[in-house]
């Protein structure tokens, strides 16, 4: 007497992994679960008619149909066969349901599918991926934050083919109330998404959004930065006294090199050549999309060698806190400055302005050397094509003088503080 297979458990069905070819798990009474290479899992039932004709039907898909329901459906199919009826499977039911739809229902379903295809959520994601190759990683992350974090939750279901100014203006105004700079960036994203639709024929050439004057007047300011010599000492004194070694190291590297916060936070050991005192930043991380070589002053090399004791991965500054980031988050640097009392006075990005201003006014450093250190893009394509000077030797000397200056100012601030005490 053949052995009757035991009913498979839900755990066995759930843990079944796809292979290179389909395979089955028997569950008794002609029911078995087919695991396809795609990962899909189908319930099938083998049957034999009273006339001896054999066949099988798909009756459901796991996990939409659980083990118990699959056995009930299998028994119902066997009963159909015993009664001489044509056994009905999943695809039979789907075809019957589709055939029973009215023309209006079919049209409504097609319209819903089209609306989803052209929904703001789908099209804005496509725009992000289209623009990603031309953006620096930090720029891409910023746009993802705006589009997916601020616009999609409100406009995600909107049809971009008919999206009008009146639909997005209230969204922008609400954003402007809480964060004016975010609203300005959101407006840029919306205009970019609409342009993406126009050039692809999703919208007509005249279907632009008119958002130029919809935001309340916002008097923007520069990123806060210490640009007076008198403020450099107290700032560096506070940074050097910060208790967190990793955050302190990130802030010091920002001060020594004037690189952008995102590049500082994501610095990799593979980019560092401490013997040559150079940091090779790949083009993929640069806003200009051009690789950048940064000279490391002696103080930076010393700090980086100290950081090697925390080396547990590829990043110079490993993640801190509970976020689980692989490397230090740029916001941790900004938060540290705020906590030290520099809110509204100096941000991490402000080290760039500090170098640009103080080194120019106090040390009379050539402006071209400073621009090369800051890796600013050339003014126009012609200048970029012909002026490729990087001033590496000059920058090496200037950045060492700059690091010495920062330490001198910190020591001077200590002396003043002691005298005042």
Comparing 15-19, 123-127, 160-164, 377-381, which segment has the lowest mean pLDDT? Answer: 377-381
Confidence of residue 275 (pLDDT cuts 50, 70, 90): very high
Highest mean pLDDT among 24-38, 185-199, 373-387 belongs to: 185-199
* Residue 153 to residue 184: CA distance in whole angstroms: 18
Residue 158 near residue 170 (C-beta atoms within 8 A): no
Overall average pLDDT of the 231-254 stretch:
94
- Which domains, from first to last, does the chain contain? 10-99 (3.30.160.390), 104-221 (1.10.150.130), 229-420 (1.10.443.10)
**More confident: 281 or 179:** 281
Return the H-helix or E-strand segment holding 41. Answer: strand 41-48
**pTM of the predicted model, to two decimals?**
0.56
Indicate the length of the chain as a whole number: 421
Who's near 127: CB < 8 A, 6+ residues apart? 147, 192, 193, 196
Cβ-based neighbour number of residue 93 at 10 Å = 12
Q: Is the pLDDT of residue 92 over 80?
A: no
pLDDT reported for residue 243? 92
Token pair of 219 as six digits: 């008097």
219 pLDDT tier (thresholds 50, 70, 90) = low
Bond into 207 cis (ω within 30): no
Mean pLDDT of 277-301: 89
User: For 317, which DSSP code?
Assistant: S
Distance (Å, rounded) from C-alpha 401 to C-alpha 407? 10
Judged by average pLDDT, the poorest of 186-195, 219-228, 341-350 is 219-228
Average pLDDT of the residues of the chain:
86
pLDDT, tens digit, 9 for 90 and up, residues 350-382: 999 999 999 899 889 888 888 888 886 544 443
Mean predicted confidence (pLDDT) in 35-57: 88
Q: Dump pLDDT digits (tens) for 155-178.
A: 999 999 999 999 999 999 998 887
pLDDT at 384: 40
Kindly provide the b/e burial profile for residues 183-214, where b requires at least 16 CB atoms within 10 angstroms of the residue's own CB. bebbbebbebbbebbeeeebbeeeeebebeeb
């Amino acid at each position: 007497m053949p052995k009757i297979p035991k009913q498979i458990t839900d755990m066995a069905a759930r843990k079944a992994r796809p292979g290179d070819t389909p395979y089955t798990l028997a569950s008794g009474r002609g029911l078995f679960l087919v695991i396809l290479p795609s990962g899909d899992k189908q319930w099938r039932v083998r049957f034999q008619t009273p006339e001896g004709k054999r066949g099988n039907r798909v009756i459901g898909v796991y996990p939409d149909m659980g083990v118990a329901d699959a056995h009930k459906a299998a028994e119902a199919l066997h009963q159909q066969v015993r009664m001489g009826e044509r056994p009905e499977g999943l695809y039979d039911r789907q075809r019957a349901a589709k055939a029973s739809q009215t023309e209006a229902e079919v049209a409504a379903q097609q319209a819903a599918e089209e609306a989803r295809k052209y929904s703001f959520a789908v099209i804005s994601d496509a725009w992000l991926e289209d623009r990603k190759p031309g953006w620096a990683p930090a720029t891409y992350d910023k746009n993802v934050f705006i589009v997916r974090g601020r616009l999609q939750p409100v406009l995600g279901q909107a049809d971009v083919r008919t999206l009008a100014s009146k639909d997005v203006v209230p969204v922008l105004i609400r954003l402007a109330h809480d964060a004016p700079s975010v609203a300005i960036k959101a407006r840029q994203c919306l205009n970019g998404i609409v342009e993406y639709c126009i050039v692809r024929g999703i919208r007509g050439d005249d279907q632009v959004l008119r958002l130029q004057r919809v935001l309340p007047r916002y008097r923007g300011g520069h990123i806060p930065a210490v640009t007076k010599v008198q403020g450099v000492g107290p700032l560096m004194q506070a940074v050097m006294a910060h208790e967190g070694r990793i955050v302190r190291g990130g802030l010091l590297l920002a001060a020594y090199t004037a690189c952008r916060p995102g590049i500082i936070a994501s610095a990799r050991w593979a980019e560092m050549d401490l013997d040559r005192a150079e940091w090779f930043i790949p083009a993929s991380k640069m806003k200009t999309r051009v690789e950048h070589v940064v000279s490391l002053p002696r103080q930076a090399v010393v700090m980086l060698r100290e950081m090697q004791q925390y080396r547990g991965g590829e990043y110079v500054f490993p993640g801190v806190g509970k976020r689980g980031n692989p490397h230090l988050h740029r916001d941790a640097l900004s938060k540290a400055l705020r906590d030290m009392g520099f809110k509204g006075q100096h941000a991490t990005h402000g080290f760039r302005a500090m170098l640009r201003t103080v080194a120019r006014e106090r040390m009379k450093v050539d402006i071209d050397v400073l621009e090369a250190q800051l890796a600013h893009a050339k003014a126009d394509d012609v200048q970029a094509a012909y002026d490729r000077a990087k001033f590496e030797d000059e920058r090496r000397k200037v950045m060492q003088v700059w690091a010495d200056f920062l330490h001198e100012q910190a020591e001077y601030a200590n002396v003043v503080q002691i005298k005042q005490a």
